[in-house]
Chain A
Amino acid sequence: MRCVHAPYRIVDDGYLVARPEDGRVLVLTPLVGWVWTHLDGGDWESLLLIAEDLYPEIVPGERAAVLAQSVLLLRKEGLIE
């Protein structure tokens, strides 16, 4: 699994990304945006650690679920393959 590169900007409330397929603008939350930009190496350990930093109040199991949801969203929008 790897991130599909696309033009993006980090703004106040997340990531603006031009969808690879057609350039339509997507708004990703900071976590989903971070997951997207760090997926290249498939480094799940780091992803779980950053999720711990971003969402310390969420138990590890739920954190994994949040990451899984992020991945599903990214795949749906063509941002990972």
Chain B
Amino acid sequence: MSDPKPGARLLRAAIGLSGPTDPCEDDWDLWVRVASDGRVFPLLQEVVCSGGAGLSAPQRDRSSDYQRDAMAIAIQIEHELLEVATVLDQCSVDFAVVKGAATAHLDYQRPSLRQFGDADLIVAPEEFSTTVAALRRRGWRQSYPLPRHHEQFTHAVTLRRGSGFEIDLHQKVAHRAIGELIPTRDLLRTRVDFEIAGHRVSAFSAIDRLIHAAIHVVGSRGSYRRLSSLADVLVIAERLTLSSSEVVSRAATWRVQRLVEAGIRASYGAALLPVPDGWLHAFDITHSRGSWLVERAYISDNRRPLIEEVAYLRQLHGGLDRMKYVLGYFTTDDEYAARNRRTGLWAQSRYLWSRVRSG
């Protein structure tokens, strides 16, 4: 098992704390790897500036270069994001910027502390297909095909224009069952405004940003659970400690309070920090019923794809939707077949079984 201390140190830098260790010349490569995998080069630079006395000058210079490269990508993504935002504004579509492109501006001490590799926007499911169509008319293309009839079920599609950066357009806040539990309209109703380069855009409220960040952590395990996501939870949780009951109550209205609790605990755990008393108290006093199957699917160290699918089918409304969803996996169209190099019932069944087994 890898040493958790470099990751913990990088996470602590997001909230202005030091410890439990600092980099030195000998273990520098490990720090770079952890920061690269976790998409937290700006936090590595923070660590280097405050606790990098044991590093050589070239190592310190390299850290600065990494941060500069990460920020160069971030501003190009924002440039692309604003073009998408302009299209959505022209179409009068309500949307919110989510994840890194929003938390960078709203939650971190300064935007240059949050690295991100794509931009995420969310629109209401009722406006999803018209939004995709509007963006297609302006040159954005879907990066990968969905299984047939899965447009209404997917939580997001990835769009790209030419060789530009990826834009993930969401209609639900999370994969499968979690996305069904949290209605997008609820989140859009309480969104807040902020500015990117003088352009007014929206994001979820601080409480909803924390709920979203926490369930994102819970929904992504193993190498998919990035330090950048854990840092988002830490940064917002630290700010909202006094509103912890409000956060947990809001999560309880969607029956995801245990997932949010798991995400917050995981983030403090990864930073090797105790969960603040305010949060522990809020977790203790909220006793409303969660979704047992969803909790079983997601609160675990390893993925449980079969339970995730069952939990999702349970959340879908009506037998017709459930049948459409399942059949979509087995009726591939030409684009899907060409992209994934498999077609037909047998090939799809084998693929799905391998996914279930691999977790």
List, in ascending order, chain A residues with CB within 8 A of B74's CB. 7, 9
Partner of A9, one of B79, B80, B112: B112
Residues of A in contact, count (CB < 8 Å) = 14
Q: Does A16 contact B71, Cβ atoms closer than 8 Å?
A: yes
Task: Establish whether residues A6 and B68, one from each chain, have CB atoms under 8 Å apart when the complex forms.
Answer: no
CB pair A8 B75 closer than 8 Å? yes
Are B198 and A11 in contact, CB atoms less than 8 angstroms apart? no
- Contacts A12-B64, A16-B68, A23-B80; is A7 near B75 (CB within 8 Å)? yes
| Contacting residues of chain B (63-82) with chain A, CB-CB under 8 angstroms | 64, 67-68, 71-72, 74-76, 78-80, 82
The number of residues on chain B lying at the interface, defined by a beta carbon within 8 Å of a beta carbon of chain A, is 19
Counting residue pairs across A and B whose Cβ atoms lie within 8 Å, the total is 49
Tell me if B317 is interfacial: C-beta within 8 Å of chain A: no
Q: Contacts of A13 on B, CB cut-off 8 Å?
A: 64
B111 within 8 A of A: yes
Residues of B within 8 A of A18 (CB): 75-76, 78-79, 197
The 9 A-B pairs of least Cβ separation, nearest first, read: A5-B198, A23-B79, A7-B78, A7-B75, A18-B79, A9-B71, A18-B75, A5-B197, A9-B112
- The reply to whether B79 and A16 form a contact with Cβ atoms under 8 Å apart is no
A-B contact pairs, 16 of them (CB 8 A): A5-B198, A6-B75, A7-B74, A7-B79, A8-B75, A9-B111, A10-B110, A10-B112, A11-B71, A12-B64, A16-B68, A18-B197, A23-B79, A23-B80, A25-B75, A25-B76
A13 to B68 alpha-carbon distance, docked (Å): 9
A17 contacts chain B at the CB level, 8 A cutoff = yes
Query: Are B112 and A11 within 8 A (Cβ)?
Result: yes
Asked if B199 and A5 make an inter-chain contact with CB atoms under 8 angstroms apart, the answer reads: yes
The answer for the CA separation of A51 and B64 in the assembled complex, in Å, is 26
The complex places the Cα of A5 from the Cα of B196 at a distance, in Å, of 9
A25 to B80, CA, bound (A): 13
Using known A-B contacts A11-B112, A25-B72, determine if residue A6 contacts B79 with beta carbons closer than 8 Å. Answer: yes
